[in-house]
A and B are shown apart, each in its own frame.
Chain A
């Protein structure tokens, strides 16, 4: 039986929608999900030694992305930070109009001075802050993001991007390349 051209197109389209895309999604080296978060009302300290009330800070009018890193990490934190460097580079002079927040998971070591050096190393521009605090407060923040690591050596690569809906964030877990991260952020903040 001769199959019509329209039928072939429908078959191809169906294949693309139901077969190709899911496989592609599963092949993605990261997972994306929408999560509801309750940010604890704690006061942290930034790389300048200034106090930052986290909840207020993250409820800014600016788009916000958060990651959890530490300054002497040898594996995934440098890659996460490269993602923020790349984002600021793409934003150019508008980098200050996107709030990037790195929160340490090694508050015993990461003092404001060390965090400032770290940001310099990654050519951070205005708009990217690195926060530390007491161990108890950092634990509360990790729990608030459902990203509690009892031990920094077993942490995971995570980005959080705030959506336009109160308390709702996009959670990106895994090694995400620069282009994909930009797309995910663009899709979230421009939705």
Chain B
């Protein structure tokens, strides 16, 4: 049976049953059931221990696996885990002219041929297949031999790129049993005809904002569906699509469900569960809520459901969570950029303080946390802090007093547009003037364009996008999806972000070559080459990287009535 014909409709309960069958077969099959201690373990425990070996390089004993790299360099397996090359899905990777083949049971226990059946004439599939020489199907024994010696069943050595591992029979049985459960069935939301997606819209989201998020996604869906229809009805175009994306993706249509949430965030989980139960999607695309993304983030982690690029300034920050791919670390990233920029000029401060003035609301606190944490990593003394209660006015007198009494080398002000008169008044100071005043372009909003001329040399802004004068050329991309609708009707940062989501999704699906596993979607995006997109000066992907926009400019407002932003830093400040 072709894998693209396999649909997955099982509940978690059925999935556990499938895993159990795989695990039992795996353990009995290896060494004639001689893996006595492994055989004593429950299927769940075998899965846990096998996953730990695969992902962390840790043996069931708790010791690291022993690997030998390039045939002869002894290394701990924790530095050379299976996942680091074969990836989380087990479908493998292709990077730097090194192709890593799939290591899932479905692939290992079938013979590998020179071509992929049914896809012989699709260039991307054909090229992929040529990287891997034919071999017979593995048995548990020959697979164990490969992992221990580096020789495949044809006698070909893989030691040039893959380590060999010292693993005893019991532990090998666990690892092999785990490989048999890796990506065993296509993910939910996939059928022969369709890929189901969904997006989330939170309560109270501004209509323009939600429309700006939806328009690019709906454009992608309708374009793909028109293409799928053409694929069925027009032979000439079908052949083109066949050559470009293969018969499987070419024939599939997309759907996009809107999961509209109501009420307070603590009630969202139940609503998400209900939507999911009714129709599980392959992935969430975008999504927009007011406030923290954490409730949707944790829902996606629990259901192993990818979410590509939600529109949020408050993402969950994690080094290890897997399923939500964010544009950036949100507004706190501006605070981090400010800290690194000031660190670069710290030698000029002659030991004087930095003062951080923080509006006590979500934006102000997120910026302050980002600044504080990044500043702490520099090893410099902590900044002095002044907290402004929500609603408390920051008057020119108050800000001047802070400047004169604290005498800071740098005054960092995380406040909204109401602080503009106070900020502007600092330009008039003759004495007790800080060397630099740092503010957030996002928090001030469009009002920063009105910073008066006399204060412009003093005030530096964090600006997390490509500069406006360089961004105009990308208007063409956005107009192409608006099909005649006026651009002014949409929020320009949101529509651009959502446009990127559609583009990344398209690229990823083509690269997946009908291997529709949720983990593989994220694996593939992690392996993508960097590309130029609207809005951000740089989006960089990488295996396991979950915040793709790493940069933020520090800028100043130039002279004149129609000033331009002038760059004062690199996009990424180290």
Q: CB within 8 Å of B: which residues of A?
A: 29, 45, 49, 70, 72-76, 78-79, 81-83, 85-86, 106-109, 111-113, 121-123, 132-136, 151-157, 175-179
Contact = CB atoms under 8 A, between A and B. Distances in A.
Contacts of B488: none
Nearest to B72: A178
A156 B98 CA distance: 9
Contacts of A78: 69, 79-80, 84
Contacts of A111: 574
Contact of B544 (A72, A79, A83, A134): A72
A24 B76 CA distance: 31
Nearest to B99: A75
Contacts of B430: none
Q: Of residues A74, A76, A113, A136, which shows the largest number of chain B Cβ atoms within 10 Å of its Cβ?
A: A74
Contact of B100 (A49, A74, A133, A135): A74
Contacts of B570: 134-136
Interface in B369-409: 377-379
B160 A29 contact: yes
B540 A106 contact: yes
Contact of B87 (A29, A73, A74, A156): A74
Nearest to B73: A178
Interface size class of B (residues with CB under 8 A): 35 or more
B574 A74 contact: no
Contacts of A106: 540, 542
B93 interface: yes
B97 interface: yes
6 contacts: A74-B85, A81-B79, A135-B570, A152-B530, A177-B72, A177-B73
Contacts of A29: 160
Which 10 pairs of residues, A with B, have the shortest CB-CB distance?
A178-B73, A82-B69, A75-B98, A177-B70, A134-B570, A108-B550, A72-B542, A86-B73, A108-B540, A75-B95
Contact of A49 (B161, B379, B551): B379
Contact of B96 (A45, A157, A176, A177): A157
B572 to A, nearest CB: 5
Interface in B20-40: none
Contacts of A154: 96-97, 529
B338 to A, nearest CB: 15
Contacts of A49: 377-379
Nearest to B85: A74
Nearest to B92: A74
Given A74-B93, A75-B93, A157-B96, 14 more contacts: A74-B87, A74-B100, A75-B96, A78-B84, A106-B540, A108-B571, A108-B572, A111-B574, A135-B570, A136-B570, A153-B527, A175-B160, A176-B70, A178-B73
Interface in B229-288: none
A134 B572 contact: yes
A70 B542 contact: yes
B542 A109 contact: yes
Contacts of B572: 107-108, 134-135
B571 A135 contact: yes
B545 interface: yes
